[in-house]
Amino acid sequence: MFGDKSRWKVRVRVWIYRDGEKVLGPGRAELLGHIEREGSISAAAKRMAMSYRRAWTLVREMNDRAGEPLVELATGGAGGGGAHLTPRGKEALAQYQRLLTRAARAAQAARHNTRK
Amino acid sequence: MFGDKSRWKVRVRVWIYRDGEKVLGPGRAELLGHIEREGSISAAAKRMAMSYRRAWTLVREMNDRAGEPLVELATGGAGGGGAHLTPRGKEALAQYQRLLTRAARAAQAARHNTRK
């Protein structure tokens, strides 16, 4: 019954847990994307209208919970240094986006696979 | 990198909108399921530790927004009558669960389809 695409929309969200703890979700993935583009946690936080403190907490949680760091901080230098995704962080973000795309595509396809 | 099923879990949630308004999501679908089994809004609300007022608001929203009623109230009788899903309500719930299952299955499958 959700087949009419002009009226019905399907929204899909995905979360990734490791050992029962949330590692990635829509907000964290968005934050990683901004860190990758901006090269700093504070600039990324600003893009999301999020406090630096909150962004930093999320980064620390992701790094702790993923088993190895997803974000690496560049220490020193003027401005206190920036931040970038580790190879593992890039992989995690790409994989998250792939899961989300596949899930959303499957949900869209299932709309048309109805008995009515 | 999320391939180890003993450690990494994927959680998928789905929402259905019509004309930009939320019709179904995890909570509303659960409520419909309870109404179907319990035969009343108040008993369904109790199952979810939700107030009757809140459950009633959700039912009214779903009925208004879906284009036709998903839940029908049986008026009169001792106890004020119960509630049940209309054929359209049963279809909507089944379709929602199908979308969710397909989306979750696709996300699970995508975990193993990695470059590493």
Closest residue in chain B to residue A104, using alpha carbons only: B103
Confidence at residue A116, expressed as pLDDT on a 0 to 100 scale: 44
**pTM exceeding 0.80:** yes
Residues of B in contact with A1 (CB under 8 A): 88, 91-92, 95
Q: Between the CA atoms of A38, A44, A49 and A53, what dihedral angle is there, to the nearest 10 degrees?
A: -150
Closest residue in chain B to residue A103, using alpha carbons only: B103
Closest residue in chain B to residue A24, using alpha carbons only: B10
Whether residue B103 and residue A98 make contact (CB cut-off 8 A), yes or no, is: no
Domains of chain A: 15-70+81-114 (1.10.10.10)
Q: Does B91 touch chain A (CB under 8 A)?
A: yes
Query: What is the least distance, in Å, from the CA of B76 to any CA of chain A?
Result: 31
Q: Where are the alpha helices (DSSP H) in chain A?
A: 26-38, 41-47, 52-65, 87-111
Q: What is the ipTM of this complex?
A: 0.87
Q: Could you report the per-residue pLDDT of B83-109, keeping only the tens digit for each? A: 999 999 999 999 999 999 999 999 998
Q: Could you report the per-residue pLDDT of B12-49, keeping only the tens digit for each? A: 999 999 999 999 999 999 999 999 999 999 999 999 99
Burial A65-78 (b: 16+ CB within 10 A, else e): bbeebbbbeeeeee
